A = this chain, B = another copy of it.
Amino acid sequence: MISYNEMATEDFVVQGFRAAAVNSGIRGKDRLDLAMIVSDMPAVVAGVFTTSLVKAAPVLLDMERCRTGRAQAILVNSGLANACTGEEGMRLARLTTAMAADALNIAPELVQVCSTGVIGQQLELACFQRGIPRAAQALAADGLAEVASAIMTTDTVRKIAARTVLIDGKPIKLLGMAKGAGMIMPNMATMLSFILTDAKIGHDLLQSLLRKVVIKTFNAITVDGDTSTNDTVLVLANGLAEHLPLTEDRPEALSAFAAALEDLCQELALMIVKDGEGATKLVTIRVQGAASEAQADQAARAVANSNLVKTAFFGEDANWGRIIAALGRSGAQFDQHQVDIAFDEVLMVKNGLGQSAEVEARATAVLKKPEFVVTIDLHAGEGYKEIYTCDFSLDYVKINADYRS
């Protein structure tokens, strides 16, 4: 694994991709707020989008274009979400991609577009008229890291990571970036992630891989239980690496690539949780022994999203009563007299009963750590799920209540 801190500048590069970020005026005069990522040739695209019924205009447009299986550029802005903007919002989403296509001399259908920021306000066309040509001119192979900066909103750290995997003795590069920190000031909880690779792979296969990977990674994190209108994960694969194409006939090569993709997405997803608004701790909620995987998911999410559990984590209190109360209302089926709960390796609850004060003291010591695992065994079957969450601090309320005051 190459983590962000260890990455040298050359790690931010993938052959055949160029990028640039500029200030276009959407967010004042200084911040990077508009960016483009461009492949030298049409690439295979795969995308996973918000499950919310309320989808932003760029999401609707990307979903439509993703079905063609090809894309060559991503246009992204921060500051405005272009969500709840009606027909005018759709018109502007199409128009801005046409402007980008024009500047890049490619077909508009090959441009994906993402927005993040305030819901309900229309994009200002002038910013795109100003920003797009400048971004197109500035495109450079080493520009990807700047895109990761341009998409930050309440994020406190830039989220970028890379993997290299050898297939047929040839290196395949995967570079990923993400944004998201809970609720993005002032209106949105958007998570965006772009993954660029030189792998050779078809659209259907990449799409099905991405779906599976997202379930285990980006869809297994929660900061505040809210889903955004703009959540988007896009993968562009330009096929420049020298390996033989990845196909279902080559399960070993495919699973090596899938593992690298999952590992990369997992690193980005955990970066988001750690940077959760006001978060001070990264907590893994691991449910095992559920009656089904779906019930493991229900149980883990109920615990991971409980304000009472999350405030107890913030208070460094091994408050297992709140965990068992969340399990009880989760909808998962189990016998309360068979539940075990451990904080890291400290078994705090056995058969639904709390253990000694000495055990609780050791559990409390675990909660003082910046990262720990809560393992819940329901003893009701084989269902297993891990969900990644953070604690719930005073700063979360401050960030989300005070921004206009």
Interface residues of A (CB under 8 A from B): 50-55, 81, 83-86, 118-121, 183, 186-189, 224-229, 306-308, 311-312, 314-317, 319-322, 324-330, 332-334, 336-337, 349, 351-354, 392-394, 396-398, 400-405
Contacts and interface: CB of A to CB of B under 8 A. Distances in A.
Given A227-B328, A306-B226, A315-B402, A84 B53 contact: no
B226 A307 contact: yes
A393 B394 CA distance: 9
A244 to B, nearest CB: 42
Nearest to A335: B53
A402 B352 CA distance: 25
Given A227-B328, A325-B228, A354-B121, A317 B404 contact: yes
Return the 3 tightest CB-CB contacts between A and B, nearest first.
A119-B321, A54-B328, A315-B401
A351 to B, nearest CB: 7
Contacts of A86: 337, 351-353
Q: Which of A85, A225, A329 has the most CB of B within 10 A?
A: A329
A329 B404 contact: no
A82 B188 CA distance: 42
Contact of A226 (B229, B329, B349, B394): B329
Nearest to A227: B329
A397 B394 CA distance: 6
30 contacts: A51-B329, A53-B334, A83-B321, A84-B321, A84-B354, A118-B321, A119-B320, A119-B321, A120-B320, A120-B321, A120-B349, A120-B354, A121-B354, A183-B322, A186-B321, A187-B321, A188-B321, A226-B306, A226-B308, A226-B322, A226-B325, A227-B325, A229-B324, A308-B400, A311-B401, A315-B400, A315-B402, A316-B405, A393-B397, A397-B397
A324 B186 contact: no
Contacts of A330: 53
A312 B352 contact: no
A386 to B, nearest CB: 21
Given A186-B319, A394-B398, A85 B353 contact: yes
B394 A315 contact: no
Contacts of A328: 50, 52-55, 227, 229
